[in-house]
């Protein structure tokens, strides 16, 4: 059973309804999303001071105020010449805890893009992101636009670690590379997601390097990564008869991987799920 990853913060003082000067507000780049200046300008163009709500800031031991949530509203105030804004002020947090608070506050809103969330999660030192990053580094991979040495399916690989554990993600990347080489297609979210479901669900059957090698060999013999991706897309859409989606493409790839695993096998066959 994979361990459960949680976002947690220590008890700390919080003051509500504090007016702060916008000129005094600072940004910690590694604990914040990237500023979208056009968005801030659009807010400034129609800004209504009484409808801004409260931003969230962290007051450090030296008195400096760092924005946790409300970066675009704060920037809009600066642009519009508004000198103060109401804030919820947290005190006594480390930079790592500031990053954790950012993720907690933005988790349900789903406003943070996956790459920003990953970077901030690493800054926070959260085990889910750190464990995932350790696996990527061990495979000489990093987060970015999918290419031979980068993976763009951030949410997909985090989901594997969260659901099944970092060891399963390690096996997924090992099999993908052995089957398809270091190519963008090998790290595609459909391939990685399908392998994650297969290796995560069937740990009782897939045991040791020999089984991983056998799976990689069968996948390579059966088709290319591009073919697996194409077949998964076709099956997920019912060859054009129904809607497509990330989850359905991943599960279609999972079923195709089961077919490859079962080829020529009498023992340890896996039934359809």
What are the pLDDT digits (tens) for 139-198? 999 999 999 999 999 999 999 999 999 999 999 999 999 999 999 999 999 999 999 999
Coil, strand or helix at 68: strand
Planar angle of CA 177, 179, 185, nearest 5 degrees: 65
The pLDDT tens digits for 24-70 are: 999 998 888 888 899 999 999 988 888 788 999 999 999 999 999 99
**Domains plus CATH for the chain?**
14-114 (3.90.1530.10), 126-262 (no CATH)
Exposed/middle/buried for residue 201 (C-beta within 10 Å: 0-12, 13-18, 19+):
middle
Q: SS3 for 227?
A: helix
Taking each helix axis from N to C terminus, what angle separates 127-138 and 154-164, rounded to the nearest 10 degrees? 110
Residue 210, classed as helix, strand or coil, is: helix
Spatial distance between the Cα atoms of 87 and 70, rounded to a whole number of angstroms? 9
- Determine the average pLDDT of the residues in 255-261: 95
pLDDT average, residue stretch 207-223? 92
d(CA 103, CA 99): 6
Phi/psi at 55 (5° precision): -90, 175
Give the C-alpha separation, 90 to 14, whole Å.
Answer: 4
pTM value is 0.71
């Amino acid at each position: 059973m994979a361990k459960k990853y949680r976002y947690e913060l220590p008890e700390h003082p919080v003051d509500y309804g504090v007016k702060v000067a916008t000129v005094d507000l600072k940004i910690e780049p590694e604990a914040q999303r990237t500023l979208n200046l056009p968005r801030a300008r659009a807010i400034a163009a129609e800004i209504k001071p009484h409808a801004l709500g409260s931003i969230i800031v962290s007051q450090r031991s030296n008195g400096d105020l760092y924005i946790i949530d409300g970066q675009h509203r704060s920037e809009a105030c600066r642009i519009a010449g508004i000198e103060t804004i109401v804030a919820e002020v947290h005190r006594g947090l480390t930079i790592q805890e500031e990053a954790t608070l950012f993720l907690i506050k933005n988790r349900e809103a789903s406003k943070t893009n996956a790459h920003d969330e990953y970077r901030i999660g690493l800054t926070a030192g959260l085990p889910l992101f750190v464990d995932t990053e350790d696996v990527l580094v061990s495979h000489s991979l990093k987060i970015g636009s999918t290419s031979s040495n980068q993976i763009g399916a951030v949410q997909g690989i985090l989901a594997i670690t969260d659901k099944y554990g970092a060891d399963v993600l390690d096996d997924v990347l090992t099999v993908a590379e052995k089957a398809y080489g270091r190519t963008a297609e090998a790290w595609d979210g459909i391939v990685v997601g399908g392998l994650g479901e297969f290796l995560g669900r069937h740990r009782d059957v897939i045991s040791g390097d020999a089984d991983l090698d056998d799976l990689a060999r069968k996948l390579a013999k059966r088709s290319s990564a591009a073919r697996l991706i194409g077949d998964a897309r076709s099956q997920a859409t019912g060859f054009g008869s129904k809607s497509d989606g990330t989850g359905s493409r991943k599960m279609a790839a999972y079923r195709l991987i089961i077919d490859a695993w079962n080829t020529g096998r009498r023992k340890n066959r896996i039934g359809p799920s």
